[in-house]
Structure 1
Amino acid sequence: MNTLLLFGSMLGLALLGVPLIFAILAASVLTIMVVRPEMPMVLISQVFMNGMDQFLLLAVGFFFLAGEFMNRGGITHRVIDFAQAIVGHLRGGLAQVNIVSSLFFSGISGSAVADTAAIGSVMIPQMKKRGYSGAFAAAVTQCSSVVGPIIPPSIPMIVYAVLAEQSVGEMFLAGIVPGIVIGLCLMAAVGILARARNFESSPRVAAREVLRTGLGALVALMTPVIIVGGILGGIMTATEAGAVACLYAFVVGTLHFRELDLSGIGHSLVAAAKGTSIVLVIVGASSLFAWVVADLRLSQAIGQAITGYSDNPVVFLLLVNVFALLLGLFLDPLAALVILVPLLLPSAEALGISAVHFGVVLVFNLMIGLTTPPVGYLIYVSAHIAEERPERVMRESLPFMIALFAALAILTFLPAVSMTLPGLYRGGG
């Protein structure tokens, strides 16, 4: 009955149009008031505030700001030029460039939406001029942008690390190889479509051009090296790495590329403040939701239900994939993490599944949701840039969705893909 109250009120408020995170918060408060009427309201607010009052969460604001500085500081064109030099000669060259640009850019922005907006605003018009349909260009852009929150730095990975009490450095490391695997699966899909549709290819550029564009992009591509290397080397905490990334992005944008002006700085500060505020509210609500889940013993009930059906870790991960993909159709990824981590992580760990591997699989599942209707933000962002109807973009996205599901299967059934680098780090440490 109490479980029905929690999820029923949450669903009812969401259907009434209440933003999901506030629906989660209100449902949690209502359930506490009914189940624990003796609990003072001040304790509810303390649980909420304690969730946000974590030093590690300062890193979220810093990474948001660093990404904004880099986005507005002249990075995008240099990253795309380098990608053009190394893969533009392949059949379907501009589509391949789009994917590789997203791989590079993900190490700067850490955001799928930022990736779609930045890469799409440059690549989609270019692809249309070269004869690609706007819907196809938008589909490539939006599906390749899911890599943004997988390769470090990644806001969802930080949020998961906080919720699951895991190392941010290990979560960042765990996303590197999966991000490359996702990119290769998408490039394979482009290669197949390029042959079927007889897409163009460009002449191979000289090594000198590759070197020139590589040096132009190197300053930008050093960002993830500084962040991950500083954290794993014990030189900086995740929060300090975020602050250093901000300083580095500011210096690069203002003094090196000289494209980050006062207006850009102001817009970056406002955008970073908005993004950080949203994440903090989500984490605070997650603390209260997790408290209710623990009090109602929902995790144990779910664990017993799953293990009663099967105690096979592979079956469990398959069920998690189905559940997370369905939830991702309707929920924002961070809000979905709030619900899924306290419910499913205890069962995963009880079955011997690494929390780090589970986190990578879960985050990638929810990122796929950004490319699917009805909530998929990336569909509408890319369709707007391409001046296409969203339904046409969805249709063209189908081959790339198959590639994303293939990558998900690889990450799910081959834990070594995400666990090798964290394992090497632990062994070396």
Structure 2
Amino acid sequence: MALAVLFVLLFTFLLLGVPVAVSLGLASLAYIMISGLPDVLLIHTMIGGIDSFPLLAIPFFIMAGHLMNTGGITTKIFSFARALVGWLPGGLGHVNVGASVIFAGMSGAAVADAGGLGNVEIKAMRDAGYDTDFSVGVTAASSTIGPIIPPSLPLVIYGVMASVSIGELFAAGLVPGLLMALSLMIMVAYFARKRSYPKDHGIDLCNIWLTLKQAFLPLLTPVIIVGGIATGVFTPTEAAIAAVCYAMFLGLVVYKSLNWKHLVRVSMDTIETTAAILMIIASAAVFAWILTSNQVAAMLGETLLGITTNKTALLLIMMLIVLAIGLFMETIAAITILVPVLLPIAAQAGIDPVHLGILLILNLMLGLLTPPVGMVLFVLSEVSGVKFEQCVRATMPFLIPLVIVLLLITFFPQIALWLPTAVYR
């Protein structure tokens, strides 16, 4: 009875537009009161859910991304990507994808990519005569590379929830992220040929060298983060702090594009974003505890294993469940709820938790590109001035290559696992 009330209240609140964190907290509180459990359990479980050292990486990665955007570093990245791949047919589409790959190694968040690079990319493509739907679609799709290529905020949260090495998760995300970029560039090439989009420019080695020199120091950011973690110099949390220090050094000392007023604004934006994320994690921790204590994971596991014991088939079923939830729930909340449910099933079936993590995050990225939640679509609608409905239609074709990559990683786990196996195991 109490469990039924929990789910009914949760979905009712979500349908009414109540914020996810509040919906989870209120539904969990109702369950605790109906079950006769002490009210203080809610607070204790929420505090326990965020009392984790690796979660300290979240505000620092967020701040690093804000510093890069505010300091104008994204413009240098875009210029370098434009010089590097702009000579291809549909050049600015390829530039869009390439810039997202580079920025992914600095921010670790799809919304930061869409909000930071999106404005620059869409304006450049519009000025060059590209269709608005193509410009918005490729910008939205390429932004989802951010949480796959390290560093990645969702992978940090998954690692904490699943007690999996964050270093292994970061290593596992590199190849799938590059595969996503390649698939999107193939899609761009298809549209470029179909619509006769021009090359942005010819091959200019001098321009490539000039923009590389301008972007060289920002390009060292992912090297510092990923290299530091892989070599054991940094923990992921320490790497996030190093990224912030390096971004401040670039903005304040090298480029002099930041001042103390900018730092105050960046700090406030970071606090606001971090507070929202941690509130979701805290509320979802209570919800996850309720599901675990009621053995929902065990019951679901028995049901799925009763259908099939084939690992690939189980993964496909789990991915359908994740996709359905991702359509209606924000990424971080979905991770904190799904991990306690899916991880035991994966363990019973012999599915590697690192492989599961990459699939889970990539699947949830599709939710950022689909209504009704679609956070990336809302951000791009605001940035580009295009209606939300038009953003949805523009993005639909670019879901095809992303789904293909998801299926490839599902059927061929070594795509994700060979690098962490080589480095860590």
Normalising by structure 2, we get a TM-score of 0.96
2:340 paired residue number: 342
Choose which of 74, 94, 97 in structure 1 pairs with 2:92. 94
Q: Is the 8 A contact 2:308 2:314 kept in 1?
A: yes
1:178 counterpart = 2:176 = yes
| Change in 2 beyond 3 A, CA 1:396/1:43 | closer
Q: Aligned ranges for residues 26-425 of structure 1 at < 5 Å?
A: 26-35=26-35, 37=36, 39-425=37-423
Partners of 2:16 and 2:70 lie apart in 1 by 37
Q: Which amino acid aligns with 1:306?
A: L
Partners of 1:29 and 1:392 lie apart in 2 by 39
Deviation >3 Å, runs of 4+: none
Partners of 1:88 and 1:60 lie apart in 2 by 33
1:24 paired residue number: 24
Partners of 2:21 and 2:80 lie apart in 1 by 40
Give per-residue Cα distances to partners, 1:59-104, cap 9 Å, x unaligned. 1111111111111122111111111111101000011101111111
Moved more, 288-297 or 21-30: 21-30
**What secondary structure does 2:89 align onto?**
coil
Q: Which amino acid aligns with 1:255?
A: V
Partners of 1:184 and 1:363 lie apart in 2 by 18
Give the count of matched residue pairs.
425
**What secondary structure does 2:368 align onto?**
helix
Partners of 2:45 and 2:3 lie apart in 1 by 20
**What secondary structure does 1:152 align onto?**
coil
Partners of 1:177 and 1:140 lie apart in 2 by 20
- CA shift for structure 1 position 17: 2.9
Q: Which amino acid aligns with 2:378?
A: Y
- CA shift for structure 1 position 14: 2.1
Q: Is the 8 A contact 1:102 1:115 kept in 2?
A: yes
Q: Which amino acid aligns with 2:236?
A: A
Give per-residue Cα distances to partners, 1:378-402, cap 9 Å, x unaligned. 2232233333233233223222111
Q: Is the 8 A contact 1:139 1:382 kept in 2?
A: no
- CA shift for structure 1 position 422: 0.8
Q: Is the 8 A contact 1:134 1:386 kept in 2?
A: no
- CA shift for structure 1 position 157: 0.9
Partners of 2:216 and 2:340 lie apart in 1 by 40
**What secondary structure does 1:17 align onto?**
coil
Moved more, 284-293 or 262-271: 284-293
Sequence identity percentage? 39
Q: Is the 8 A contact 1:171 1:360 kept in 2?
A: yes
- CA shift for structure 1 position 34: 2.7
**What secondary structure does 1:353 align onto?**
coil
Q: Is the 8 A contact 1:135 1:388 kept in 2?
A: no
Partners of 2:404 and 2:124 lie apart in 1 by 28
Partners of 2:133 and 2:12 lie apart in 1 by 35
Give per-residue Cα distances to partners, 1:265-302, cap 9 Å, x unaligned. 11110111111112222222232222211210000000
Partners of 2:293 and 2:47 lie apart in 1 by 19
Q: Structure 1 unaligned segments of length 5 or more: list them.
A: none
Q: Is the 8 A contact 2:32 2:39 kept in 1?
A: no
Q: Which amino acid aligns with 2:248?
A: F
Partners of 2:99 and 2:361 lie apart in 1 by 21
Q: Which amino acid aligns with 2:3?
A: T
**What secondary structure does 2:144 align onto?**
helix
Partners of 1:100 and 1:354 lie apart in 2 by 30
* C-alpha RMSD of the superposition: 1.5
Give per-residue Cα distances to partners, 1:157-185, cap 9 Å, x unaligned. 11111111111111111111111000101
1:15 paired residue number: 15
Q: Structure 2 unaligned segments of length 5 or more: list them.
A: none
Partners of 1:14 and 1:80 lie apart in 2 by 38
Q: Which amino acid aligns with 1:204?
A: G
- CA shift for structure 1 position 197: 1.0
Moved more, 42-51 or 96-105: 42-51
- CA shift for structure 1 position 3: 3.2
Give per-residue Cα distances to partners, 1:332-351, cap 9 Å, x unaligned. 11111122111111101211
Q: Which amino acid aligns with 1:8?
A: V
Moved more, 40-49 or 122-131: 40-49
Moved more, 187-196 or 370-379: 370-379
- CA shift for structure 1 position 107: 1.0
